[in-house]
Chains A and B, each alone.
Chain A
Amino acid sequence: MHVVIVGAGEVGWFLAQRLRGEGLDVVVVEIDPVRAEALAAELDVQVVNGSGSSPNDLQAAGIERADMIAAVSQNDEVNLIASLLAKEHGVDTSIVRLETEELRGVGGAYLRRAVGADVVVDPDADTADEIYELVQTTGADEVYPMAAGELAVIGAVIAEGSPVANRYLAEIGQAMEPNWNFLFGAITRDNETIVPRGDQQLLPGDHVRVICKSSAKDELLELIGVSGTNARRVMVLGGGAVGSRVAERLQDEGADVVLIERDEIRADALARRLKRVVVIKGEVTDTELLLEESVGEMDAVIAATGEDGSNALACAFAISEGAAYTVVVLHSLALLPLVRRFGVDAALSPRTASANAVLRRVRGGAAVNTFLESDSEVDEIEIVRGSKADGAVVADLHLPRDILIGALTRRGSEAQIVRGYTELQAGDHIVVFGRPHAISTAKPIFTG
């Protein structure tokens, strides 16, 4: 498979890395010569120094041989033109990053159709959505809705003294028989991710990713030992694309939101747009200001400026003042270990959010979620008629140990957690945990 990526920004770079890892031929078109060179030096991909809106540059990238184009530069217009040119050359799938709300909405429908955009992604909107989900379930550090919201993958750290700490998964499972509400899908301990079986023991400090029925979310968090409350008082640091969107969604939910933005003009524009948000002009690292706005009294503090350092510092201060829950947006992963150490509850990155949407398309599957800071991911796969899995009992499939089927949704019945004796049928949507390459390898079992 030949993929052309337009723009080697945060998203494009990460995508190139992931797709190359999947064994695809990747060509990246990047306008900035310095960045283009850096990318070529670091990854085993072809790099064309040029513009995504230039027919010649796209031809140099081999657009006529491509099966997919991912136009993910920061310029909406360039992305639209690249998609249009690609479709002219017979490219099957076009993924377009659009940041302008209007173009993604009803008003832009005609334009999107005209350029043949199959999938529209917006890293900032996706990040904002993830943060929003997190704040709705504070206590967790990751929340990914799956199967149209019926299921959710929740990431959290096992607390000291939680009912499940120091117990084996088989034991925990026994207590739930016969109706399981959740299943531990991946455990990260000492930077090592394990796909667990019943003989696995849970230790305090383990980071677990659990697939659960959405209705059982609170029950699960209680079991893990973190309280899941709905944040009512939220401070958002940074009024960029991510911060403003989170603030807007929280405001619409009725939360009291304080938003701090450095740029006066931007702060003014935000104050005009966000009616019930208290917009404050100031530096997010100005501790005086944070104290003035009683950062310690907040249910949640979200650091979403464009600078990782500022985000980390502001969060550290918020934690020291006693903020209940903190989320930090990191654009590069360099600071991740550090923020983990001083106790940030959740860290996320705009690039993974959008990469998930692209990966989903590459694999032809439904939902795909790549976890930050881990080499595992979770996929949603539809079982195809006539495949090996069609009509088989899970235990008989003899799946490799590094893959786990977590749950399934079947048309006409509610979502269920998959067990060894569960019988699979064609048309089932299953949620699979595992390392990306392991999932790719095992995929033919389900798709024939």
Chain B
Amino acid sequence: MTDTVESAGVRRAAAVARRSEAPLSENLLGHVVGLVVAMCGVGICVGGIVDAIDGGPDTTPMLITGIVATVAGSVAWRSTAVPARIARLDVFTTVTTSWLAMALVGAVPYLVTGTLTNVIDALFESVAGFTTTGSTVLRPIEDASAGILFWRAITQWLGGMGVIVLVVAVLPTVGVGGMDLLQAEAPGPTGERLTPRVNQTARRLWALYLGLTIVLAVAYWLAGMSLYDAAAHSLTTVSTGGFSNHSAPIAYFQSAVIEWIAIVGMFLAGCSFTLMYKLIRGNPRPLLRSAEFRTYCTIVLVAIVAVFITADGAGYGTEGFRQATFTVVAIVTTTGYGLADYGLWSQAAQAIVLILMPLGAMAGSTAGGVKMIRVLAVASVAHRESLRQLHPRMIRPVRIGDVVLDDQLANKVLGFLVLALAAFGGTGLIFALSGADLITAFSGAATLFGNVGPGLGEVGPTSDFLNISPFARLVGIGAMLLGRLEIYPILLALVALPLHRPRNALRRIVRPLR
């Protein structure tokens, strides 16, 4: 942060000028939440239009919902302005509130069309969409209209790269602190700028995301999917979401080519988009030399071989290999498409799947979970602390490959893991208390927190989350949000809430500490 006196002066002058032109109140929360709601509204409208083309029954309610959301959101958006200097506290409350608003708006179409009648179920489906978890409470999926299913896919696509990232991309200017906004939502500790300006960085990430989506949709279509299925599955593949229009997601199409396309698509979506952007700009070194990428590849390959050997599923031919590959990639990237019912595999293979669930792919990808980079950081810390037994006065930084991680960041990673473990254990415990068996409870907690989708046992790949109690589903909504936003923003928003009253004395104290 190069805060020169001059630039501060220029900013202040600009802020003064803005204020004198248009008497917009500077309100980050209202501005961003408004824009997010408006985007969701547009998405719902798209769903409505798809339904109209299909001739389905839900066109009118969806279009009305969409238009209302768009208008309401736009009003909030246009009547506020981004503050010249974004306060740290505002970042976390804004991100958390945006996600809550999205969850609520996203649930409305399920209710108004009568697809789901229970508010908790509608919220669960909405959050499972935006957090790219892909766990579902629709039973059976085929009963829902084309418009609703397409909206489901859109929620995952919006949540994959991140709505806040999209907001930052759309905003013409983001003041100081814009990067915090981006980082608060981005999966994993990345925060590397591709360009000097934050909103251009966000734009490039979204452009790459959009490009990947289109390429994948065309590939699916050429491989034999209908245009509608190709678009919907492409949206849920690049976002590593895992919603499908069919109860048997990819298996429905009975095509090895489509399965391989999905494997490649999921794998790419699990790579850091920042590094992939550099790759397509002709600089493959950052990706190929990244220790995280190497670990990602290694873990995927080892897991495929291990599952292939132990699965006892579809035998040891190409079919078995494809199933092993598909399942491992789907779980590691937290997409959660089910190809084979791994609930029928050997206990060892199921154990591997369970271990892979909370792991996640690369930081800066659309995948959920803990992420490889954190695993590497913790491994480095563990190595250091064991070496320290031999050399008590040793100085040694935490490393990820050849890159040194500041101790501050490393501590944050450790803190995250502790919180993640607590969230995972707590969710599992509550599931168990609500009556689920042990495997269901803990695999359910892992899959929801890791934003994967299916778990094991009663929430396995061939069933859904209607098998756990409504209360457990409510808790599950929280687990998915905690997993997607990586705990800290939600936690900090809760801490920040009491500080948020206007002219609160505490706030004046906290601000200079930023």
A interface residues (Cβ-Cβ under 8 A, vs B): 258, 264, 267-268, 270-272, 275, 278-282, 289, 292-293
Q: Do A278 and B397 touch (CB < 8 A)?
A: no
Residues B387-403 near A (CB distance < 8 A): 387, 391-397, 399, 402
Complex contact A275–B393 (CB within 8 A)? no
Interface residue from B391, B397, B402 paired with A268 (Cβ < 8 Å):
B397
CA distance A268 to B399 in the complex (A): 13
Whether A275 and B395, one on each chain, are in contact in the complex, defined by CB atoms closer than 8 angstroms, is no
A267 to B396 Cα, complex, angstroms: 9
Residues of A within 8 A of B387 (CB): 278
A279 nearest in chain B by CB position: B395
- Check A289/B396 contact, CB under 8 A, given A272-B404, A275-B402: no
Interface residues of B in 206-244 (CB under 8 A from A): none
By a CB distance below 8 angstroms, the chain A residues around B392 are 292
Q: Are B391 and A278 interface neighbours, CB within 8 A?
A: yes
Q: How near does chain A come to B476, taking the closest CB pair, in angstroms?
A: 42
- B397 and A258 within 8 A (CB): no
Chain B residues whose C-beta falls within 8 Å of the C-beta of A289 in the assembled complex: 393
Taking each of B391, B393, B402, which has the highest tally of chain A beta carbons within 10 Å of its own beta carbon? B393
Across the interface, do A280 and B402 meet the contact criterion of CB distance under 8 Å? Answer: no
Whether A278 and B394, one on each chain, are in contact in the complex, defined by CB atoms closer than 8 angstroms, is: yes
What separation, in Å, do the CA atoms of A308 and B399 have in the docked complex?
35
Residue among A267, A270, A278, A281 facing the most chain B CB atoms (10 A cut-off) = A278
Say yes or no: A268 contacts B395, CB within 8 Å: yes
CB pair A271 B396 closer than 8 Å: yes
* 16 examples of A-B residue contacts, CB within 8 angstroms: A264-B395, A267-B395, A268-B395, A271-B395, A271-B396, A271-B397, A275-B402, A278-B387, A278-B391, A278-B396, A279-B395, A280-B394, A280-B395, A281-B395, A292-B392, A292-B393
Q: Which of B395, B396, B399, B402 has the most CB of A within 10 A?
A: B395
CB closest chain-B residue, reference A261: B395
A280→B391 CA distance, assembly (Å): 8
| A residues in contact with B399, CB < 8 Å | 275
Indicate if the CB atoms of B394 and A279 lie closer than 8 Å: yes
Known: A278-B387, A280-B391, A292-B392. 7 other contacts (CB 8 A): A264-B395, A270-B395, A275-B399, A280-B394, A281-B395, A289-B393, A292-B391
Which residues does chain A contribute within 8 Å of B393, judged by CB atoms?
A: 280-282, 289, 292
Complex: how many Å from CA A169 to CA B393?
52
A233 CB to nearest B CB, Å: 13
Shortest C-beta distance, B392 to chain A (Å), equals: 7
B interface secondary structure, majority: loop
CB-CB under 8 A from B395, the residues of chain A are 264, 267-268, 270-271, 279-281
B residues at A contact (CB < 8 Å): 387, 391-397, 399, 402, 404
| In the A-B complex, the 7 residue pairs with the closest CB atoms | A271-B395, A272-B404, A267-B395, A279-B395, A280-B393, A281-B395, A272-B397
Cβ distance A238 to chain B, nearest Cβ, rounded Å? 15
Closest CB in chain B relative to A349 CB, distance in Å: 29
Min CB distance B462 to A, Å, is 47
B399 (CB) vs chain A CBs: closest residue: A275
When chains A and B are docked, how far (Å) is the Cα of A59 from the Cα of B387? 58
Closest-CB distance, B186 to chain A (whole angstroms): 25
Chain B residues near A272: list those with CB within 8 A.
Answer: 397, 404
Pick from B387, B394, B399 the residue with the most CB of A within 10 Å: B394
Contact A293 B397 (CB under 8 A): no
In the assembled complex, the CB of B270 is this many whole angstroms from the nearest CB of chain A, namely 27
- Bound-complex Cα distance A279 to B396 (A): 7
Q: Shortest CB–CB separation between residue B410 and chain A, in angstroms?
A: 13
* Distance in Å: Cβ of A357 to nearest Cβ of chain B: 32
Measured CA separation A264–B397 after assembly (Å): 13
Chain A contacts of B402 at CB under 8 A? 275
CA distance A442 to B380 in the complex (A): 62
* Complexed CA–CA distance, A275 and B395 (Å): 11
Q: How far is the CA of A272 from the CA of B380 in the complex (A)?
A: 13
Chain B residues positioned under 8 Å from A264 (CB to CB): 395
| A294, closest chain B residue (CB) | B390
> A26–B238 Cα gap in the complex (Å)?
73
B404 touches A293 (CB 8 A): no
Residues in chain A near residue B391, CB distance under 8 A: 258, 278, 280, 292-293
Task: List the A residue with the shortest CB-CB distance to B396.
Answer: A271
- With A and B bound together, what is the CA distance between A314 and B394 in angstroms? 19
> In the complex, A293 Cα to B393 Cα: how many Å?
9
- Cα–Cα, bound, A268→B396 (Å): 7
Q: A271: nearest residue on chain B (CB-CB)? A: B395
Closest to B391 in A: A278
Distance of A350 from chain B, by nearest CB (Å): 26
A134 to chain B, nearest CB (A): 25
- Closest-by-CB residue of B relative to A289 is B393
CA distance A335 to B480 in the complex (A): 70
Using Cβ atoms and an 8 Å threshold, which residues of chain B touch A270?
Answer: 395
Q: How distant is B383 from chain A, measured CB to nearest CB, in Å?
A: 12
How far in angstroms is the closest Cβ of chain A from B401? 10
* Chain B residues, CB < 8 A from A282: 393
Please, how many angstroms separate the alpha-carbon atoms of A270 and B396 in the complex?
Answer: 9
Give chain B residues whose Cβ lies under 8 Å from the Cβ of A293.
391
Q: How far apart are B507's CB and chain A's nearest CB, in angstroms?
A: 36
Residue of A nearest to B404 (CB): A272
Task: Name the residue of chain B whose CB is nearest to the CB of A270.
Answer: B395
C-alpha spacing A282/B396, complex, angstroms: 14
Residue of A nearest to B390 (CB): A278
> How many whole Å from A66's CB to the nearest CB in chain B?
45
Residues of B within 8 A of A292 (CB): 391-393
The docked-state distance in angstroms from the alpha carbon of A272 to that of B410 is 14
Closest to B388 in A: A278
Question: Closest CB-CB distance, A259 to chain B, in whole Å?
Answer: 10
Name which residue of chain B comes closest to A274, CB basis.
B396
Q: How far is the CA of A264 from the CA of B387 in the complex (A)?
A: 19
Task: Give bound CA distance, A280 to B388, whole Å.
Answer: 10
| Distance to closest chain B CB from A314 (angstroms) | 16
A256 vs chain B, min Cβ distance (A): 11
Cα A293 to Cα B397 in complex, Å, equals 19
CA distance A326 to B237 in the complex (A): 62
| Docked CA distance A271–B394 (Å) | 9
Give bound CA distance, A282 to B404, whole Å: 22
- Chain B nearest CB: distance from A263 CB in Å? 11
**Within the assembled complex, what's the spacing in Å between the Cα atoms of A280 and B397?**
12
CA of A17 to CA of B108, assembled, Å: 90
B394: which A residues are within 8 A, CB to CB? 278-280
Assembly CA distance A196 to B392 (angstroms) = 52
CB-based nearest A residue for B402: A275
Q: How far is the CA of A280 from the CA of B387 in the complex (A)?
A: 12
Name the B residues within 8 Å of A271 (CB-CB).
395-397
**Bound complex: CA of A279 vs CA of B394, how far in Å?**
6
In the complex, what distance in Å separates the CA atom of A292 from the CA atom of B391? 8
Complex Cα–Cα for A271 and B387 (A)? 14
CA distance A289 to B393 in the complex (A): 8
State in angstroms the CA–CA spacing of A271 and B393 once bound together: 12
Q: How far is the CB of B359 from chain A (nearest CB, A)?
A: 25
Q: Give Cα distance in the complex from A278 to B394, angstroms.
A: 7
Within 8 Å CB of A267, what residues of B? 395
Minimum CB–CB distance for A234 against chain B, Å: 14
Nearest to B407 among chain A residues (CB) is A268
Q: Which residue of B lies closest to A282 (CB)?
A: B393
A438 nearest CB across to chain B (Å): 51
Cα distance A271–B391 in the bound complex, in angstroms = 13
Please report the C-alpha to C-alpha distance between residue A309 and residue B361 in the assembled complex, in whole angstroms: 54
Residues of chain A with a CB closer than 8 A to B396's CB: 271, 278-279
